[in-house]
Amino acid sequence: MHWAAAVAVFFVVITKFLQYTAKYHDKWIANLAPANELSKKYFNKMKERHELKELNNTISAQDNYAKWTKNNRKLDSLDKEINDLKNEIKSQNKAFQGNLQKLRLLALTVPFFVFKIVYGKTPIYKLSSSTSTLFPTFVTGVWSQGWFYVVLHPLRTISQRWHIMEGKFGTAKFDAVTLQSVSLGIWVWALMNVINGIEFIVNQLFLTPKMGPPAVAETQEEKKLDVSDNAFILD
Amino acid sequence: MDLTVEPNLHSLINSTTHKWIFVGGKGGVGKTTSSCSIAIQMALSQPNKQFLLISTDPAHNLSDAFGEKFGKDARKVSGMDNLSCMEIDPSAALKDMNDMAVSRANSSGGEGQGDDLGSLLQGGALADLTGSIPGIDEALSFMEVMKHIKRQEQGEGETFDTVIFDTAPTGHTLRFLQLPNTLSKLLEKFGEITNKLGPMLNSFMGAGNVDISGKLNELKANVETIRQQFTDPDLTTFVCVCISEFLSLYETERLIQELISYDMDVNSIIVNQLLFAENDQEHNCKRCQARWKMQKKYLDQIDELYEDFHIIKMPLCAGEIRGLNNLTKFSQFLKKEYDPAANGKVIYELEDKE
């Protein structure tokens, strides 16, 4: 395997792994994040609140109204402190997650993007001459040069034909060897499409719950009036 | 130094700084009687000042308490030169606004727009539309407060040194007291919008030439003034009224906590309808004894819970406390605490009011 393809596969695997395990990320982050002062304080307050609530439930509100009310005031104050701590922990977690997102961006997304830009035209493998001649030059041009070929090809053609800004858009004609290769950019694009296609099929076939039969409205059978007798009885 | 708090409202009654006094609590505990009593005692103690008693309860009782009719305009209480009463009537206030809007629409229009608006509002349509909106009573009471402050600042019309509010049951009052904060935030948002859209909004108002931005800023300044005054303990205080029973006390506790969260001063609690049965040997029964025992139990709890509050203990009278004379007799116990042994006879001396 070409080293560029191996690097691309590595990035794709990491990206897909993160995508498939997205629902476990919060749990992992919670386990990773060190137990800090705030969390300890929060748990202590919760414990205190629980104990006070239990104590207050044992006191008769009518017989010990003052003590019961003082406990209620403490409970209200604890609730407020717990809420403040919860918000602080949430914002701390949010900041931590934000840092992780930045880390992901700097360690994964940006490098992969830069790699594709820099090495996007690296030929990963060569097509046989019979295969490459099966398709129009435009198609093999895209395979070997990437999607930017689509934009530049008309400009190159016009530039060459009417001698306007010649050489500014690169050469219009590529040699046969170049046209017989598949570039890294297109190869990665194709790989992602294949993976997405497989994902879709697996999702639809195995992971989507089966739908029940459509509900049918119950219809009352019409009573058939069978008049067999002409006689009628008077009251 | 004796740090015990006096069990009376002597300091409040003789206060020269307080401008706003709210009297509130659960329904049926004696808010109207207490607010009338406070107003009467303040008027008697400070005869050179003018006092206004406003009822913000949609189910007004001031007229019934004094035995004379009060309306949406302040009117002096018969027999007192410096005490006036007012009952805010939402439907009448809205009808006034409606009539003003109609006359303004008719005077500015005359060409399609004005006529349409005028005809739309004719017949009190605005009053009908808005009269039953929940919270309209609180909004109108608040408008009355703002009008009063404006009049004082501009020195127009009749001014009052202190306004006493006979409030609606707890929930409505809390909503009323939240209005300055709510309006402040709302006006801030509106301010941002008008700053961005500016003259375009004015052009929507058509020939009225109303400067929306100016009006909003004026309203914002007024609301801010009220908010500052309501949170100044020298200017505003809240007197809680309750009875010595669990439900009332629990609601009083919630009310006090809510008021503290609004930064409003609250340091007085009037406990009404107390039996003092052990001191009344002549008129006594098993039921009164049992009930008094229950009341005493809660009274001890109140003393323990609210040790830095003025706890004023008021007796349950033999008759109804209606009319200026009865209210004056009853209200004396706000200034000097009720002594069952010495003052026991007073509660049987109330006149029958027909």
Indicate the domain borders of chain B: 1-105+114-353
**Which residue's entry shows tokens 């659960």?**
B26
> What does the pLDDT average to over A202-221?
83
pLDDT band at B93; cut points 50, 70, 90 = low
Q: How many residues does chain B have?
A: 354
Q: Beta-carbon neighbour count of residue B7 at 10 Å?
A: 17
The strand pair at B51-55 and B83-87 is best described as parallel
Q: Give the mean pLDDT of B326-348.
A: 87
Three state DSSP letters for chain A: CCHHHHHHHHHHHHHHHHHHCHHHHHHHHHHHCCCCHHHHHHHHHHHHHHHHHHHHHHCCCCCCHHHHHHHHHHHHHHHHHHHHHHHHHHHHHHHHHHHHHHHHHHHHHHHHHHHHHHHCCCEEEECCHHHHHHCCHHHHHHHHHCCHHHHHHHHHHHHHHHCCCCCCCCCCCCCHHHHCEEEHHHHHHHHHHHHHHHHHHHHHHHHCCCCCCCCCCCCCCCCCCCCCCCCCCCC
Q: What is the DSSP letter of B320?
A: -
Nearest Cα residue in chain B from A71: B305
Q: Which two tokens stand for residue B290?
A: 């049992």
Characterise A125 by phi-psi region: left (phi > 0), alpha (psi -120 to 50), beta (else): beta
CA B153 to chain centre: 21
In this prediction, residues A206-210 reach a mean pLDDT of 88
Asked if B257 lies within 8 A of A73 by C-beta distance, the reply is yes
Mutate to test the interface with A, among B240, B245, B253, B300 (most CBs of A within 10 A): B253
B136-154 and B212-230 helices cross at what angle (nearest 10)?
90
Marked catalytic residue, from B2, B57, B137, B339:
B57
Task: Give the nearest chain A residue to B301 (CA atoms).
Answer: A66
pLDDT for residue A100: 87
pLDDT at residue B266 is higher than 70: yes
Which residue in A95, A99, A98, A110 sits closest to A15, CA to CA? A110
Q: Chain A: nearest CA to B85, how far in angstroms?
A: 37
**What's the fold here for domain B1-105+114-353?**
Rossmann fold (3.40.50)
pLDDT tens digits for B8-19?
999 999 999 999
Dihedral, A93, A97, A103, A104 alpha carbons, nearest 10? 160
Q: What average pLDDT does chain A have?
A: 83
What integer pLDDT is reported at residue B354 of this predicted model?
45
* B301–A70 C-beta distance less than 8 A: no
A235 pLDDT tier (thresholds 50, 70, 90): low
- The position carrying tokens 């009822």 is B55
Contacts of A141 (CB under 8 A, 6+ apart): A149, A153, A174, A179
B98-133: per-residue pLDDT in tens? 666 666 666 655 444 444 555 555 555 555 666 666
Q: What ipTM is given for this predicted complex?
A: 0.76
Rounded Cα–Cα distance for residues A156 and A174 (Å): 12
Average pLDDT over residues A91-106: 88
Point out the least confidently predicted range of B64-73, B245-254, B324-333. Answer: B64-73
Instruction: Look at the block and give the residue holding tokens 């004015």.
Output: B202
CA distance A48 to chain B (A): 22
* 3-state DSSP assignment of residue B161: coil
Q: Is A77 on the interface with B (CB under 8 A)?
A: no
| Nearest-by-CA chain A residue for B246 | A62
Question: Which residues have C-beta within 8 Å of that of residue B237, sequence separation ≥ 6?
Answer: B12, B18, B20, B21, B22, B264, B265, B266, B267, B268
Q: Provide the pLDDT for residue B96.
A: 65
d(CA A162, CA A20): 52
Query: Is A173 a residue whose pLDDT tops 60?
Result: no
Which range among A179-183, B89-93, B130-134 has the greatest average pLDDT? A179-183
Q: Is B57 a catalytic residue?
A: yes
Positive or negative, the Cα torsion across A101, A107, A108, A114? positive
Please judge whether A63 and B297 are an interchain contact, meaning their C-beta atoms are less than 8 angstroms apart.
yes
pLDDT score at B140: 72
The alpha carbon of residue B104 and the mean position of all alpha carbons in its chain are separated, in whole angstroms, by: 32
Map out the domains of chain A with their CATH numbers.
Answer: 1-119 (1.10.287.660), 122-198 (no CATH)
A69·B257 Cβ contact <8 A:
no
- Residues in CB range of A126: below 8 A, 6 or more apart: A180, A181, A182
The enclosing H or E element of B86 equals strand B83-87
Under an 8 A CB cutoff, do A65 and B257 touch? Answer: no
Instruction: Write the burial class of residue A201 (CB in 10 Å: 0-12 exposed, 13-18 middle, 19+ buried).
Output: exposed
Q: Which of A33, A78, A87, A90 is nearest to A52 (CA)?
A: A78
Taking an 8 Å cut-off on Cβ atoms, the answer to whether B246 and A61 are in contact is yes
Q: Is B110 helix (H, G, I), strand (E, B) or coil?
A: coil
The Cα B79–Cα B180 span in angstroms is 36
